[in-house]
């Protein structure tokens, strides 16, 4: 299984709930079948911040987590090509969506003392930005093949220049945006942080994770880079693959 996971239809969520007034201001809530309150994952999908991808591809991991007794809130948000898409609108949407867990907890059996934010690819940048700026109270952060160094991603021309599209300029044009948005610039974090990355990733090179890890290692933060040997960009969100099984195990440990 490769990129096909991006187009497979996941199991349906239990609820689709709006967190704002915009067309893309909604999320999918999945709950375990056992009694709660349940630990929760805030899930943030990828797609290079562009409108070509939706929250659907994170639904597979979210459904697998539900089978393990973990609830999930899978957020949709405005992306490039849509109104408010780009910086800072995309990040503001993610922050608003994440903060909606407070309202969800009043109606659904969610344990707000056990919340981990998990982001895939471009969603990894958004997840760690969310955690670093404490936009919502979380007990851990997980990046799955995340774009964690925006300056280096710009230098590598990832996604045919998508970082400059997202931030509306180069590091020379808008340096303050790279500092505010790039997780590597926001270190150290004050919560446990786990970074998964395949060392054969052809979409977001492994060196992005290595650069982040080198800087994180120089701090005293609770951090681990988990290298997925031989893995590309997609196994990490495919529950049929051992890489994704490992992701689920680590998430469960953070929520224990």
Place of tokens 């704002």: 20
Q: Among 111, 20, 14, 28, which Cα is nearest to 73's? A: 28
Residue 1 has pLDDT above 60, yes or no: no
CB 39 within 8 A of CB 254: no
pLDDT category of residue 131 using cuts at 50, 70 and 90: very high
Residue-wise pLDDT tens digits, 203-220: 999 999 999 999 999 998
Mean pLDDT of the region 60-73: 98
pLDDT at 227 over 80: yes
CA–CA distance, 1 with 7 (Å, rounded to integer):
12
71 strand-pairing partners: 40
Cα–Cα distance measured from residue 125 to residue 182, given in angstroms and rounded to the nearest whole number = 7
Average of per-residue pLDDT across 161-177: 98
3-class state of residue 156 by DSSP: coil
Q: Can you give the residue range of the structural domain that contains 153?
A: 3-255
What is the pLDDT confidence band of residue 2, given thresholds at 50, 70 and 90?
Answer: confident
CA separation (Å) from 181 to 24, 151, 186, 247? 21, 10, 8, 25
CATH value at residue 251: 3.40.50.1820
**C-alpha to C-alpha distances, 177 to 130, 151, 191, nearest whole angstrom:** 15, 10, 23
pLDDT at 75: 98
pTM over 0.95: yes
Helices (H), the chain: 59-67, 89-99, 101-104, 122-132, 150-155, 162-167, 175-181, 206-217, 242-255
Angle at 145 between CA 144 and CA 147, to 5 degrees: 110
Quote the tokens at residue 148.
């964690």
Number of domains in the chain: 1
pLDDT at 135 over 90: no
User: 65 pLDDT band (50/70/90 cuts)?
Assistant: very high
């Amino acid at each position: 299984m490769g990129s096909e996971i991006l187009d497979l239809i996941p199991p349906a969520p239990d609820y689709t709930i709006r967190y704002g007034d915009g067309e893309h201001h909604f999320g999918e809530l999945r709950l375990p079948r056992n009694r709660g309150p349940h630990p929760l994952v805030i899930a943030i999908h990828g797609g290079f911040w562009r409108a070509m991808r939706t929250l659907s591809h994170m639904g597979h991991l979210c459904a697998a987590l539900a089978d393990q007794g973990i609830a999930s809130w899978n957020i949709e948000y405005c992306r490039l090509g849509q109104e408010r898409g780009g910086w800072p609108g995309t990040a503001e949407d993610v922050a608003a969506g994440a903060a909606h867990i407070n309202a969800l907890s009043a109606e659904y059996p969610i344990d707000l003392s056990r919340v981990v934010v998990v982001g895939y690819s471009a969603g990894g940048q958004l997840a760690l930005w969310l955690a670093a700026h404490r936009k919502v109270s979380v007990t851990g952060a997980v990046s799955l093949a995340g774009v964690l160094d925006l300056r280096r991603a710009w230098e590598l021309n990832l996604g045919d220049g998508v970082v400059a599209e997202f931030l509306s300029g180069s590091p020379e044009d808008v340096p303050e945006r790279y500092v505010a948005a790039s997780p590597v610039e926001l270190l150290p974090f004050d919560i446990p942080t786990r970074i998964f990355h395949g060392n054969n990733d052809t979409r977001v090179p492994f060196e992005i994770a290595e650069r982040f890890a080198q800087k994180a290692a120089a701090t005293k933060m609770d951090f681990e880079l988990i290298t997925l040997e031989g893995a590309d960009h997609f196994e990490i969100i495919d529950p049929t693959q051992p890489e994704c099984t490992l992701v689920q195990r680590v998430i469960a440990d953070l929520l224990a």
